[in-house]
Amino acid sequence: MSLTREELQKAGASPELARILADRLPRRARRDLTSNPLAVTLAGIAMAAFLSTLGWLVLGITGTQTDVLLLKEDVALLRADVTLLKEGQDRLEEKVEGLDERTARIEDKLDRLLLQ
């Protein structure tokens, strides 16, 4: 609340002190938002909501980036596993081919023995 020079002099201040204090005390503009407690409260709530939303957005982006990095690592591990599986499949196919050749040779020997 702004005090005038006359009010300060009535309160017992000397004329010089009243002039200095009246000049130094803040003067409010008519319609100053800080004079309305409801406006101050609503502005505070709006600012808190904005900062909270901004904070959650930053946390969400950080969490998403972490998830993306984890997914990239998982994809790399899966690719390595697929490569190992393909190599194992190739080895099994080679063994099957070897077994097929041996089976064919054994069948040939049996046929020759039966024909004799």
By three-state DSSP, how is residue 26 classified? coil
The reported pLDDT for the residue numbered 22 is: 73
Query: Cα–Cα distance between 18 and 91 in angstroms, integer?
Result: 102
Query: Cα–Cα distance between 11 and 6 in angstroms, integer?
Result: 9
The reported pLDDT for the residue numbered 109 is: 92
What pTM did the predictor assign? 0.42
103: tokens are 């089976």
22: tokens are 């009246």
Residue 88: how many other CB atoms lie within 10 Å? 10
The reported pLDDT for the residue numbered 86 is: 96
Mean per-residue pLDDT pooled into runs of 10, the chain (116 residues) = 72 81 63 68 88 90 89 94 95 95 94 87
The reported pLDDT for the residue numbered 44 is: 85
